[in-house]
């Protein structure tokens, strides 16, 4: 039996990389079911992100990766129009899975849940996965051709 019945996590999931898989793996390891929020195109733009893939493609790519990498996992994908989506509203959500880069979101989420008279969630922080050069794996670095999706260096002058 898992530590939690239901946890939430979110991201843009533009180019799915090893860091995303680590976050997802941690979420599935501790929970029976995971709600995964994917930022909408509009919300991504508000956050200053310019995804290569539109929401529908990101949804399709994530669904494909989830069914391949985590065949027995129970999940639900939700479109995020704000930072938290269902994690604010659903009483059943017990934890928020975040990277150390986004861990402050847990504090903000619990403040929002308190205003709605919902119990606080536990914040589960997963350390950022590092590329071969010791710097974090990120979609931006992949788009810039610095690293591949596994964190291997692509540029010889780095």
So where are the chain's domains?
4-129
**What's the pLDDT score for residue 156?**
61
**What's the pLDDT score for residue 59?**
98
Q: DSSP readout, the chain?
A: --SEEEEEEEE--SS--HHHHHHHHHHHHHEEEEEEEEE-HHHHHHTT---SS-HHHHHHHHHHHHHHH-TT-EEEEEEESSSSTHHHH-TT--EEEEETTSTHHHHHHHHHHHHTT-PPPEEEEEPPPB-TTSSBP-HHHHHTTSB-TT--B--TT-
**What's the pLDDT score for residue 89?**
87
**What's the pLDDT score for residue 106?**
93
Q: Are 7 and 27 in contact (CB under 8 A)?
A: yes
pLDDT digit string, tens, across residues 58-104: 999 999 999 999 999 999 999 999 999 988 889 999 999 999 989 99
Question: In this structure, how many other beta carbons lie within 10 angstroms of the beta carbon of residue 126?
Answer: 19
Mean pLDDT (whole number) for 29-44 = 97
Q: Is CATH 3.30.300.20 correct for 4-129?
A: no
Positive/negative CA dihedral, 50, 86, 22, 120: positive
**What's the pLDDT score for residue 157?**
56
Mean pLDDT (whole number) for 133-158 = 90
- If phi over 0 gives left and psi between -120 and 50 gives alpha, with beta otherwise, what is residue 52? alpha
For the cut 80, the answer to whether the pLDDT of residue 25 exceeds it is yes
- Partner residues linked to 147 by β-bridges: 153
**What's the pLDDT score for residue 86?**
87
Give the CA distances from residue 68 to residues 13, 53, 72, 85, 109, in Å, rounded to whole numbers and listed in that order. Answer: 16, 20, 9, 25, 31
What pTM, to 2 d.p., does this model score? Answer: 0.93
């Amino acid at each position: 039996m898992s530590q939690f019945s239901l946890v939430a996590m979110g991201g843009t999931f533009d180019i799915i990389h090893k860091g995303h898989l680590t976050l997802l793996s941690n979420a599935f390891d501790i929970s029976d079911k995971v709600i995964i929020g994917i930022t909408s195109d509009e919300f991504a733009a508000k956050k200053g992100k310019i995804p290569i893939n539109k929401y529908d493609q990101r949804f399709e790519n994530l669904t494909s990766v989830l069914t391949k990498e985590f065949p027995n996992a129970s999940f639900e994908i939700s479109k995020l129009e704000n930072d938290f989506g269902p994690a604010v509203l659903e009483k059943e959500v017990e934890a928020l899975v975040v990277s150390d880069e986004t861990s402050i979101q847990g504090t903000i989420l619990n403040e929002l849940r308190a205003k709605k008279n919902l119990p606080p969630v536990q914040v589960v922080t997963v350390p950022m996965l590092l590329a071969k050069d010791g710097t974090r794996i990120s979609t931006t670095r992949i788009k810039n051709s610095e690293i591949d999706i596994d964190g291997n260096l692509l540029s010889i002058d780095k």
